[in-house]
A = this chain, B = another copy of it.
Amino acid sequence: MPPKRKPENNEEGNSKKKTKLSRKLAEKIQEEPKSLVVKDETEPQTSAAKGAAEQVGIDYSCDARNKHGNTFNVRITNWNVDGLRAWVKKEGLSFVDQEKPDIFCLQETKCSIAKLPKEIKDVKDYKMFWHNSNKEGYAGVGLFSRDEPLSVKYGLGNEEHDSEGRCITAEYEKFYVVSVYVPNAGRNLVTLPKRLEWNKIFKEFIKELDEKKPVIICGDMNVAHNEIDLTNPKTNTKNAGFTKEERDGMTDFLADGYVDTFRQLYPDKTGAYTFWSYMRQARSKNIGWRLDYFILSNRIADNVCDNIIRSEVFGSDHCPITLFINI
């Protein structure tokens, strides 16, 4: 897959101050629901190409080189958006416009195709694919692709799980990309059995893909793998996302021949999370969990240039993560 857009490689010498534009953008007026989003009129409107990136102050460039000495030629971003419609109102799309990934995977869209907001339908730069739950407003995943994939597959071939809209597989020349939303084990672990059942099926599904081409799994795996992956490991061992069963599930999966790219790149990095409860101002205190991952077939692990957690970007209780890879 030839990238349509050359990597920037810091060619613009961006400033790196990290403001929280999304917070500003999220202001809404009670009495005027039609214009929920207040655009900051004090900022001059520059061309889309010039980039909101500069305005926002996030550096979207990447000059990191992989083990082979190459800079990236494919950028993949993943985000559990926690409700596509709310996310659109919070200017989620302007992030996509700034990050400009080649492939964008979303989870928890909670939106049937009939109810997609106009702003989504108006997106021109991407082909879009959706796998929705039969249950309105629940789960659902999406995949945006700048290039047309060779094929797109919905679900795992398991009737029960596929009815919940949790998996899209896009095939490209040299790899598969999987946008996945792993079942949450639920309050009091009521759905832990379903989750463990999913783990088996998903592992088998990925194994079959991996036998053909290397796989890039992007998604909300709904587990913090190790103690380093959440703020409060001690108090969460009985809670969804950090039970022994779920953690072992991840260990077991990786043992099949995959790598958690973020942890491979940053084995000792603490405080690196992708999810924070909306409760108790967890995010501002960085009381979080790393639930969102890029998991790659071992044989392409050395192709990875970087894996960035965009924790400054708001719009959901999860933040986006971006993979830079040369492949």
| A319: min CB distance to chain B, Å | 14
Count the A residues whose beta carbon is within 8 Å of the partner chain — how many? Answer: 9
| A40: min CB distance to chain B, Å | 14
In the complex, which residues of chain B have a beta carbon less than 8 angstroms from the beta carbon of A23? 30-31
In the complex, which residues of chain B have a beta carbon less than 8 angstroms from the beta carbon of A27? 27, 29-30
| A35: min CB distance to chain B, Å | 12
Task: Fill in one digit per residue for A1-44: 1 if any B CB lies within 8 Å of its CB, else 0.
Answer: 00000000000000000000001001111110000000000000
Contact with A26, one of B31, B90, B314 (Cβ below 8 angstroms): B31
Please list 13 pairs of residues, one from A and one from B, whose beta carbons are closer than 8 Å in the complex, sorted by A's number: A23-B30, A23-B31, A26-B29, A26-B30, A26-B31, A27-B27, A27-B29, A27-B30, A28-B28, A28-B29, A28-B30, A30-B90, A31-B314
Task: Fill in one digit per residue for A83-113: 1 if any B CB lies within 8 Å of its CB, else 0.
Answer: 0000000100000000000000000000000
A80 to B90, CA, bound (A): 32
Question: Can you add 11 more A-B contacts, CB < 8 Å, to A27-B27, A30-B90?
Answer: A23-B30, A23-B31, A26-B29, A26-B30, A26-B31, A27-B29, A27-B30, A28-B28, A28-B29, A28-B30, A31-B314
Give 6 closest A-B pairs by Cβ, nearest first. Answer: A26-B30, A23-B31, A28-B30, A27-B29, A26-B31, A27-B30
Q: Which residues of A contact B (CB under 8 A)?
A: 23, 26-31, 90, 314
In the complex, which residues of chain B have a beta carbon less than 8 angstroms from the beta carbon of A314? 31
A29 to B38, CA, bound (A): 11
A27 to B36, CA, bound (A): 11
A200 to B318, CA, bound (A): 56
| A275: min CB distance to chain B, Å | 17
In the complex, which residues of chain B have a beta carbon less than 8 angstroms from the beta carbon of A90? 30
A27 to B27, CA, bound (A): 9
In the complex, which residues of chain B have a beta carbon less than 8 angstroms from the beta carbon of A26? 29-31
A26 to B27, CA, bound (A): 12
In the complex, which residues of chain B have a beta carbon less than 8 angstroms from the beta carbon of A31? 23, 26, 314
A31 to B26, CA, bound (A): 7
In the complex, which residues of chain B have a beta carbon less than 8 angstroms from the beta carbon of A30? 23, 26-28, 90
In the complex, which residues of chain B have a beta carbon less than 8 angstroms from the beta carbon of A29? 26-28
A314 to B32, CA, bound (A): 13
| A270: min CB distance to chain B, Å | 26
A50 to B31, CA, bound (A): 28
